[in-house]
């Protein structure tokens, strides 16, 4: 190739015949035109108006659909792998040859990786959008934005954001023209990650590929040179000596920690596609075990690092340290045996149907914290309490509280969310945050109803109750709030959003969870307590609801339901403990004052 004035010179692969490549693409375009004229249905791509049939042959078997688009507006649907070139035989239009979804997305989970020689490189790719950039002429760039998983073309707004980001990549505007010339001369397509937030769009270089019919990546060291010359931020790479090392270190130990999707993009051997296939298949299958598949369109839904299965799997793997990349079925079977879980129970545990969050809907003084302490006294190894005042700085959406509740579900099957939760938005946000990790987690509302006609009477009763407790109330002691106590309680009561049927499907005393099934699952169930009832009465009602609703509580009442005397004993112990804590605070305050 003649030396042309471009910022960087690549060594083109010696085995490429560019004339042959051009003829093959032209033949595909001609075949597409014929298929379109005959209106034959295409084999793939439901979002493509009329995808053509591509003749199966040695040359075209890895091509599914391609399209002609004007060079000035490449905005038609596409799949992830594209080839951009220009052919005078096709009326001077830009031709996009679009490759199908990579075969690892259909790989069986039981595949075992073959031996792979040479280095294996993986990139961490958290973004959902990928941009393919090529130069149909020496002075013009064409950019195409696709969704990484589905391959769907993105909106014109995303196209515009990608174009603006390309213009910002270099402080010297002349580098934009140099980028076009470099891509055109070397017949390259650049693959970039597109991250868009409210203020700007940023691009990160993933790699380069030659404009050939079969996928041909540019060597990693030349990609690094390209990135440095044009001031592009490069995708972070991790390089391993073998596929076994990559699987062990990144896919098992690293991926659940970061929650991002690894991509094998480089090996010096032609077997890289097989290696890519196996690792993606195994990793995707593991993520699917603990993912909320029915809540996302992503083909690689993320396995949240807080999920108890992820924590347990990572700890087990690090301790057992499998010597090589065993097939996923064997790996998971060994893990399940280590935690005494039957394979048939795995889907339920992965979705979180065995986790329950108790959400009190209360006001100050109603007795929710006393109830929480009584429940933990009854089942200390199964029920945890997260108190809103003890989780650190608060955010507008209750992020710290939600995160603490979710994290506790990794250690306890039932968590009491000790907050008033008197606003509907608070309850919905908490449930949504929990279901980000455990999509089938059960929500049990413990509701102290506040009738509009009873508000004044309830405010007086609760204010008097808190006053009688003196300093033992965790947040509203007379010393802390003084004469403002009544107005604080009234504010909670008057601003409260009552629980309605949009939030719950059944009261817990009548629900048959197993009969409902996953598709018919209600958003939550509810148990109703009473502001004016004795604490032991509310404890008995809550306990009955938990036993009938929470998966982890099955069998708790095999010896009979809780009696009122049993409930009184537990409540009496809790109140003594609360008084003990208040006395400790008084002693500490007196010591500090002296």
Please state the φ and ψ torsions of residue 252, each to the nearest 5 degrees. -100, -50
Share of the chain above pLDDT 90, in %: 7
Task: Say which CATH superfamily domain 18-100+120-238 falls into.
Answer: DNA ligase/mRNA capping enzyme (3.30.470.30)
Neighbours of 287 (CB within 10 A): 23
Strands 65-69 and 94-99: antiparallel
pLDDT at 143 > cutoff 90? no
Under 8 Å between Cβ of 98 and 213: no
Quickly list DSSP for 75-124: -S---SEEEEEE-GGGTT-EEEEEE---GGGG--TT--PPP--S-EEEEE
Assess contact for 544 and 527: CB atoms under 8 A: yes
| Weakest mean pLDDT among 187-191, 193-197, 303-307, 493-497 | 303-307
pLDDT of residue 373: 92
Query: How confident is residue 194, by pLDDT bands cut at 50, 70 and 90?
Result: confident
Give span(s): CATH 3.40.50.300, the chain. Answer: 352-563
- Over residues 391-442, the pLDDT tens digits come to 443 444 445 888 889 889 988 999 999 998 988 888 888 888 888 778 778 8
- Please give the pLDDT value at position 537: 92
The domain at 352-563 falls in which architecture?
Answer: 3-Layer(aba) Sandwich (3.40)
Q: What is the pLDDT of residue 386?
A: 92
* Whole-angstrom distance, CA of residue 247 vs CA of residue 329: 15
Question: Which has the closest alpha carbon to 382: 556, 567, 577, 561?
Answer: 556
β-pair partners for 144 = 132
Residue 44 confidence (pLDDT): 27
CA distances from 563 to 536, 539, 559, 569 (A): 9, 10, 11, 10
Mean of the pLDDT values across residues 521-535? 80
Instruction: Please give the pLDDT value at position 475.
Output: 59
3-state secondary structure of 526: strand
Each residue of 214-236: pLDDT tens digit? 556 677 778 888 988 888 887 76
Dihedral sign, Cα of residue 67, residue 70, residue 71, residue 75: negative
Assess contact for 302 and 259: CB atoms under 8 A: yes
Lowest mean pLDDT across 11-25, 85-99, 533-547: 85-99
H or E segment at 286?
helix 272-289
Q: How confident is the model at residue 395, as a pLDDT?
A: 40
Between residues 271 and 578, which one has the greater pLDDT?
Answer: 578
| Residues 306, 309, 315: CA angle, nearest 5 degrees | 90
Interstrand relation of 525-528 and 442-447 (parallel, antiparallel or unpaired) = parallel
Are 76 and 69 a contacting pair, CB within 8 Å? yes
Query: Is residue 359 over pLDDT 90?
Result: yes
pLDDT(308) > 50: yes
Upper half-sphere CA count for residue 497 (Cβ side, 13 Å)? 11
CA 66 to chain centre: 32
For residue 56, count other CB atoms closer than 10 A to its CB.
9
Which residues neighbour 474 within 8 Å (Cβ) at sequence distance 6 or greater? 369, 387, 389
User: What distances in angstroms separate CA 419 from CA 319, 372, 492, one per listed residue?
Assistant: 38, 11, 12
C-alpha span between 42 and 51 (Å, rounded):
4
192, 161 Cβ separation under 8 angstroms: no
Q: What percent of the chain has pLDDT over 70?
A: 53
| Whole-number Å distance between alpha carbons of 218 and 361 | 59
- Strand ranges of the sheet holding 383-387, from the earlier edge strand across to the other edge: 383-387, 414-418, 356-361, 442-447, 525-528, 506-507
> What is the value of pTM for the model shown?
0.52
Min mean pLDDT across 239-248, 285-294, 354-363, 528-537 is at 285-294
pLDDT of 520:
38
Distance of CA 114 to the CA centre of its chain: 30
Burial string for 12-32 (b: 16+ CB within 10 Å, else e) reads eeeeeeeeebbebbbebbebb
Alpha helices in 11-76 (DSSP H): 18-38
Is residue 526 predicted with pLDDT exceeding 60?
yes
Q: Out of 188-202, 235-249, 348-362, 374-388, which region has the weakest mean confidence (pLDDT)?
A: 235-249
Cα pseudo-dihedral 417, 418, 422, 423, rounded to 10 = -50
Question: 209 near 182, Cβ under 8 Å?
Answer: no
Rounded Cα distance between 470 and 262, Å, is 57
User: Is the pLDDT higher at 212 or at 430?
Assistant: 430
CA torsion angle for 220, 223, 229, 230 (degrees, to 10)?
-150
First-to-last alpha carbon distance for the chain, in angstroms, is 89
pLDDT at 149 over 90: no
Q: Which pLDDT belongs to residue 356?
A: 93
Most confident range (mean pLDDT) of 339-353, 475-489, 510-524 is 339-353
Cα 547 from Cα 524, distance rounded (Å): 15
Lowest-pLDDT range of 17-26, 191-200, 241-250, 350-359 = 241-250
- What secondary structure letter does DSSP report for 217? B
Helices (H), 438-525: 455-469, 478-481, 485-494, 513-516
* Contact between residue 214 and residue 87 where contact means Cβ atoms under 8 Å apart: no
What confidence score (pLDDT) does residue 416 get?
Answer: 96
What's phi and psi for 446, nearest 5 deg?
-105, 100
Asked whether the beta carbons of 27 and 83 are under 8 A apart, the reply is no
Q: 176-212 as b/e, with b when 16 or more CB fall inside 10 Å?
A: bebbbbbbbbbbbbbbbbbbbeeeebbbbbbbbbbbb
Q: Are 82 and 96 in contact (CB under 8 A)?
A: yes
Q: Which of 261-265, 459-463, 589-593 has the lowest mean pLDDT?
A: 261-265
How much is the pLDDT for 412? Answer: 92
CA-CA distance, 71 to 545, in Å (whole number)?
A: 65
pLDDT tens, 11-46? 777 787 878 776 765 665 555 455 444 443 333 222
What is the location of CATH 3.30.470.30 in the chain?
18-100+120-238
DSSP state letter for 452: G
Average pLDDT of the chain to the nearest whole number? 65
């Amino acid at each position: 190739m003649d030396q042309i004035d471009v910022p960087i010179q690549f060594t083109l692969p010696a085995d490429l015949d560019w004339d042959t490549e051009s003829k093959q693409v032209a033949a595909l375009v001609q075949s597409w035109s014929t298929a379109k004229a005959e209106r034959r249905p295409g084999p793939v791509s439901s979002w493509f108006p009329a995808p053509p049939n591509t003749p199966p042959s040695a040359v075209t078997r890895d091509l599914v659909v391609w399209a002609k688009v004007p060079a000035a507006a490449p905005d038609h649907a596409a799949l992830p792998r594209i080839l951009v070139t220009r052919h005078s035989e096709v009326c001077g239009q830009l031709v996009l040859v679009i490759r199908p979804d990579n075969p690892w997305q259909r790989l069986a989970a039981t595949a075992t990786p073959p031996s792979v020689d040479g280095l294996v490189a993986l990139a961490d790719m958290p973004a959902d959008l990928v941009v393919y950039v090529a130069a149909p002429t020496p002075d013009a760039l064409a950019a195409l934005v696709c969704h990484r998983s589905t391959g769907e073309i993105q909106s014109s707004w995303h196209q515009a954001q990608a174009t603006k980001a390309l213009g910002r990549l270099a402080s010297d505007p002349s580098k934009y023209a140099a980028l076009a010339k470099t891509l055109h001369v070397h017949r390259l397509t650049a693959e970039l990650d597109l991250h868009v937030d409210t203020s700007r769009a940023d691009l990160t270089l993933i790699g380069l590929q030659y404009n050939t019919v079969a996928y041909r990546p540019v060597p990693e060291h030349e990609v690094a040179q390209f990135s440095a010359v044009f001031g592009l931020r490069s995708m972070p790479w991790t390089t391993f000596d073998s596929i076994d090392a990559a699987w062990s270190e990144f896919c098992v130990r690293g991926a659940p920690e970061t929650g991002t999707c690894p991509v094998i993009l480089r090996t010096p051997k032609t077997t890289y596609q097989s290696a890519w296939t196996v690792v993606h298949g195994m990793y995707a299958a593991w993520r699917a075990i603990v993912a909320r598949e029915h809540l996302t369109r992503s083909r690689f839904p993320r396995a949240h690092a807080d999920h108890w299965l992820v924590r347990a799997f990572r700890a087990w793997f690090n301790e057992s340290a499998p010597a090589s990349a065993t097939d996923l079925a064997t790996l998971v079977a060994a893990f399940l045996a280590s935690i005494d879980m039957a394979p048939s129970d795995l889907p339920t545990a992965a979705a979180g149907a065995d986790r329950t969050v108790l959400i009190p809907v209360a006001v100050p003084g109603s007795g929710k914290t006393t109830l929480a302490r009584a429940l933990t006294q009854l089942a200390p190894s199964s029920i945890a309490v997260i108190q809103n005042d003890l989780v650190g700085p608060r955010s507008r959406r209750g992020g710290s509280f939600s995160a603490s509740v979710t994290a506790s579900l990794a250690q306890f099957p039932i968590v009491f969310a000790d907050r008033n939760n008197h606003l509907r938005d608070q309850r919905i946000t908490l449930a949504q945050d929990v279901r980000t990790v455990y999509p089938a987690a059960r929500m049990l509302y413990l509701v102290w109803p506040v009738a509009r006609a009873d508000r004044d009477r309830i405010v007086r009763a609760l204010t008097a109750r808190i006053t009688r407790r003196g300093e033992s109330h965790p947040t509203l002691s007379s010393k802390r709030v003084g004469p403002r106590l009544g107005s604080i309680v009234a504010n909670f009561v008057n601003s409260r959003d009552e629980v309605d049927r949009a939030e719950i499907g059944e009261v817990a005393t009548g629900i048959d969870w197993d009969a409902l099934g996953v598709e018919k699952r209600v958003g939550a169930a509810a148990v109703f307590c009473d502001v004016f009832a004795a604490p032991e009465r509310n404890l008995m009602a809550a306990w009955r609801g938990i036993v009938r609703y929470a998966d982890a509580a099955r069998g708790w009442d095999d010896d009979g339901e809780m009696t009122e005397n049993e409930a009184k004993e537990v409540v009496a112990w809790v109140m003594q403990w609360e008084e003990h804590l208040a006395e400790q605070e008084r002693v500490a305050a007196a010591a500090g004052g002296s």
